[in-house]
Every structure is written in C-alpha cells, then in structure tokens.
Amino acid sequence: MRLDPTTAAGIDSPIGAALALAAQRDPARDADHPLLDLSQAAPPYPPAPEVVERLVEVARDPAASGYAPVPGIAPLRRAIAEELCRDYAGGIAPDDVAVTAGCNQAFAVVADALAGPGDEVVLPLPYYFNHDMWLRMRGVAPVYLEPDADLVPRAADAEALITPRTRAIVLVTPGNPSGVVVPPTEIVAFAELARRHDIALIVDETYRSFRDAGTEPPHPLFADPAWRSTLVSLHSYSKDLALPGHRVGSVVAAPELIRQVLKLLDCVAICAPRLGQEAALTGLTRAREWRDARVTEIARRRQWLGAALAERPGGFEVVSLGAFFAWVRHPFEGRPTLDVVRDLVLEHDTLVIPGTAFLPDDRRMLRVSVGRVDEPAAATLAGRLAAAGRRVTAGS
C-alpha cells in the first residue's frame, strides 16, 4: 500500500527508540549493573490512596464501562475550572474546559483546530518532541525560537518570526526537556504579542505543580476577562496525580475553540477513558495533601541529582534543572549525541534521551528524568558518567 509521505517522513517516537536501544543490552549485566532508566518522566509513586479506592469502586460499576460525554464528565470539568480559578485567581468556567486522553492529545486537537498544511507555529527551543512531530506530520511548519542564555524564550525575539501564515506560539513551562520556568511577565509579553497578531498562545502547563515558585500563579492571564481571545492552556494529570496510564488531560480555551476541539475528539477517541476521569476527579478534589507531598518529593529528587552532578562527573554538565528534568551537556565535541547515548546504555547501563530529540541540530545535550532518582541512584549516575567520561577520553 502507499503511505502518506508527510506522516512517513516523521521521526519515530524518541521514547520508543530509547527503549529499543535498552533492549539491546546484555541481560546478564543486570546482576551486577542494573539498568538505571532515566528516560521517561514517569512518576515513581502510585496514585493517592483515595484515588486507588475510587478506581476500584468505579471499575466494579457496570455503568462505568459506557461512553463518557465527549467534553468530559461534568463534575471533572467543574473541578478543573474551580482549581484553576483558585490557583490563578482567574475566571474559568466549565464550558471553557474539554477533557482529553492526555495532554499530548490536547495539543494535537488544538493544533489541528488552529492550523493546517502550509501554516506555521512558533516553537521555542528546545521543543517538546511530540509537539514538533505532530506539527510536521500534519504539514504545519514549526518555526524555531532561540531562547536566551538561560533558556528562557523571549517575546521580543519572537516578533520577527511571525508571518501571515503564523497561527500560534507554543510555550511549555516548566519546560520539557529543560525544566526551565518561563517568568509570568514573559508569558504576559507573549500573550500581548499573540493578541496584536490575532494568533493563539498555547501554554502547555503539564508540570505547573512542580515549579520552584511558591504559591504564586504561573501567570496572570486568566485574571484578564479577555483571556479567551488569545490563551489556550493545556494540562495533564499524569504526573500531578500519578495517572499516566489512565490518559487524562485537558484543554482550557474559549468555547468557540472548544467546539472545534470536540469535533476532533469525537473522531479520534470519542471521549477520554471514564475510569481515568473519575480518578482525576478524586485526585483534584480529595488528594490535595498527597499532591503537595509529591511536589516536595520530586523537589528532593532534583536536589539529589543536582548535588551528585555538581562537580561535572566525566565532564557532564547540568545546564538546567527543574520540574521533572535535568538538561545535561555531554563533554565529547565532535561525537554524535546518539553515539554517546548508545554508549551510556550498552556500556554504562544508564538510559537517557538524546537532546537531538528536542532540537533541530546536535548541541551535545541529554535529557535526564528525575522521576526515578533517589539519593543512591544519583550517586550511581554520577559514578557511571565519570566512568563514561574516562573511557571515551582514553579511547580518543
């Protein structure tokens, strides 16, 4: 059969490629050198006990196997709107919310509702790889925005990238893969830029709970009564509530855009899984203390990783550290990053994602997830990176 050339030209999943690489390891190594898998941003803990109890209860209910409403179950949409109103001191109504099967789906349907083949979307570097993948496979051109020296994208630099074909600007804050938080004032500047050009500002807030920012809102945009003219806010409950396999996310946007999103959802999945929606509802309304404790736990894991890599073992340097990620530069100039990643997993039993999955070129970067890092694992990582640096340096 003949395949669509635009889709066929897309890259394979970087996570799938990393796991396939790990499968090439000699299983005999596990006895003395267990694989340290720091590839995927998966929570290292189960959901809150209240959520587990609700999952069991719903699973036993025959009615729970039926379709959910396409926009999501009403109590969950209301709970999402109420939490955002509280956390952002803003005005969000349930009709502004559509529940999706994860935040990746949220981005995909929003992108399709806003842009088509030949259009452009501005993506700051480093981008989240699924955003870039989806746009390219849909025939939408990503236009890359270089960040400043601290990896913060700046609205003033984006102005020159906007053309008549631009349909949206995308921000991911905290960043994946960088962990960098875009300051609220800069998000406001991006919103003003988007409003001047009548385009959307898509803000992926998957990791918003894991910012090192105290109780301040991530941005003040929801407090502006006109936010619906510009802002599209995307959310995930995979990390926040430890529900990655249940696939629950949301789009928060103007009802006019939500209507287009619902058309797409009805064709793709009809609805997010009801079981996951009930779990998310319980987590949002009954597990606040548990959520706060998990934020503290992830911050502690970041601290362990940062301390272990502070002396640049093997020449590996932490460029940024935040949310679920460390963005690390390897020391081997002229050596392809994919080769470095292959050596790390096959010879040093450590799996990370190459930075080339998040960039249009090779900048010697690696993404390290902190989710499975405890204090011993951080020390193990430092030792393995030191060994990798010595081995490659000696070999060269």
CATH classification of the domain holding 229: 3.40.640.10
Residue 393's pLDDT band (boundaries 50, 70, 90)? low
**Of residues 81, 66, 83, the one with CA closest to residue 273:** 66
What's the mean pLDDT in 309-325?
96
* 299 close to 212: Cβ distance less than 8 angstroms: yes
Residue 378 pLDDT: 97
Residue 62's pLDDT band (boundaries 50, 70, 90)? confident
Looking up tokens 């806010």 gives 233
260 and 145 share a domain?
yes
Residue 225's pLDDT band (boundaries 50, 70, 90)? very high
324: amino acid identity, one letter = F
What tokens appear for 235 in the block?
A: 């959310």
Residue 42's pLDDT band (boundaries 50, 70, 90)? confident
Residue 189 pLDDT: 98
Residue 394 pLDDT: 53
241 and 375 share a domain?
no
3-state secondary structure of 165: coil
Residue 28 pLDDT: 82
Rounded mean pLDDT of the chain? Answer: 94
* 393 close to 352: Cβ distance less than 8 angstroms: no
Residue 139: strand pairing partners: none
134 and 155 share a domain?
yes
Residue 30 pLDDT: 83
Length in residues, the chain? 396
Residue 26 pLDDT: 85
265 and 301 share a domain?
no
pTM of the complete model: 0.94
Residue % of the chain over a pLDDT of 90 = 89
* 371 close to 240: Cβ distance less than 8 angstroms: no
Residue 235: strand pairing partners: 250
Is residue 214's pLDDT more than 90? no
148 and 235 share a domain?
yes
Cβ neighbours of residue 228 closer than 8 Å, sequence gap 6 or more: 96, 253, 254, 255
Residue 134 pLDDT: 98
The count of domains in the chain is: 2
Residue 64 pLDDT: 83
* 97 close to 252: Cβ distance less than 8 angstroms: yes
Is residue 103's pLDDT more than 90? yes
Residue that is last in its domain, among 286, 304, 329: 286
3-state secondary structure of 116: coil
164 and 254 share a domain?
yes
280 and 141 share a domain?
yes
Is residue 132's pLDDT more than 60? yes
Residue that is last in its domain, among 221, 254, 286: 286
**Cα(114)–Cα(108) distance, integer angstroms:** 10
269 and 387 share a domain?
no
Residue % of the chain over a pLDDT of 70 = 98
94 and 232 share a domain?
yes
Residue 31's pLDDT band (boundaries 50, 70, 90)? confident
301 and 182 share a domain?
no
121 and 256 share a domain?
yes
What's the mean pLDDT in 277-304?
96
Range of the domain at 166: 49-286
Is residue 234's pLDDT more than 70? yes
317 and 276 share a domain?
no
Residue 213's pLDDT band (boundaries 50, 70, 90)? low
Is residue 59's pLDDT more than 70? yes
CATH of the domain at 333: 3.90.1150.10
Residue 251: strand pairing partners: 98, 234
* 343 close to 336: Cβ distance less than 8 angstroms: no
Residue that is last in its domain, among 251, 286, 321: 286
